[in-house]
Amino acid sequence: MSAWTGSDTLPTERRRLSDFVALTKPRITFLVVLTALVGFLAAGRGGRAGDLVLLARTLAGTALVAGAASALNQWAERDADALMRRTVRRPLPAGRLVPREGALFGAVLAAGGTAYLALTVGVLAAALAAATAASYLLVYTPLKRVTSLATVVGAVPGAIPPMIGWAAVRGRLDAGAWVLFFILFFWQMPHFLALAAMYRRDYARAGFRILSVVDPDGASTGRQSVVYALALLPVSLGPAFLGMAGPVYFFGALALGLGFLGYGVRFALHPGSRPHAAGLFHYSLLYLPALCTLMALG
């Protein structure tokens, strides 16, 4: 009888490798690395941005720590993931990997990535990466079961990666690094509020007290999405005023920001509407890479 049937179409070793890769949440890790790249290029414009060895080391270390944070988050929330339809098939709740494998894998990535950054890039970059993972795992993750403010707290580690790229080049955090931080911070809020609204029942089933769960009619979720999208608009123009980007970026960021605000307003006008929440969420996924590309191009 053939061993290639149904979900067993890959040899065991390849399936397990695929599951370990899944623990790192590759799409999220890609966005983290992308923002670190933008921070590196913005900090090194006209200077060390051309240091490809330093760039490769920075992105590799950042990817390792980002993947570690995702893996350890899935380990910590494996029981909750088993209760949610969108996460029940992840490697740990599905039983394809055992908890100790996920914990060990994440711990090795975290230690290796932080040490690699410290030894090859710089202590500040390594410290920022470690702070990102630690605050995500030790503060944000447990707070989700306690208060809806966890989303605001969780936006902090999510906004640090471009600062890692900046620190790799300059060895310090200037005003430009903080502008990048706040762009990511404000972007995350409508992004996650929309996602949480889309999967409100899932999050409620898992016991997470996020805003969409404690705000069942969606009115507050919609209003906050507009407030954060509105705050993002002027902040996103900051790189142009600081000389980190030119007029093409300015007008592109303005257009992207107005579009983001428009989707936020539409979501707020239709509280509880999953299609409008999905529209805002999907636009947010287009917004960030587009803004990063504009900034990278100058």
pTM of the model: 0.91
Please give the radius of gyration of the chain, using alpha carbons only, rounded to the nearest integer.
20
Query: Residue 202: pLDDT band by 50, 70, 90 thresholds?
Result: confident
Report the pLDDT value the prediction gives residue 262, as an integer from 0 to 100.
97
Joined together, the tokens standing for residue 226 give: 């507009």
Amino acid at 247: P
| Mean pLDDT calculated for residue range 241-265 | 95
On whether the CB atoms of residues 49 and 41 are closer than 8 A, the answer is yes
Query: Residue 47: pLDDT band by 50, 70, 90 thresholds?
Result: low
Amino acid at 201: R
Q: Is the pLDDT of residue 128 over 80?
A: yes
Work out the burial of residue 61: count CB atoms within 10 Å of its CB; fewer than 13 is exposed, 13-18 middle, 19 or more buried. buried
pLDDT tens, residue by residue, 70-105: 999 999 999 999 999 999 999 999 999 999 999 999
CA angle 150, 153, 157 (to 5 degrees): 130
| Mean pLDDT calculated for residue range 240-257 | 94
Alpha carbon distances (Å) from 30 to 37, 48, 63, 229, 288: 10, 23, 8, 23, 12
- Hey, how many other C-beta atoms are within 10 angstroms of the C-beta on 47? 10
Higher pLDDT, 210 or 275: 275
Report the pLDDT value the prediction gives residue 218, as an integer from 0 to 100.
82
Percent helix, strand and coil across the chain, each rounded to 5? Answer: 80, 0, 20
Report the pLDDT value the prediction gives residue 10, as an integer from 0 to 100.
54
pLDDT tens, residue by residue, 136-195: 999 999 999 998 889 999 999 999 999 999 999 999 999 999 999 999 999 999 999 999
pLDDT tens, residue by residue, 113-123: 999 999 999 99
Fold for the domain defined by 14-172: Tetracycline Repressor; domain 2 (1.10.357)
Q: Is the pLDDT of residue 3 over 80?
A: no
Report the pLDDT value the prediction gives residue 2, as an integer from 0 to 100.
40
Alpha carbon distances (Å) from 61 to 49, 106, 167: 17, 14, 13
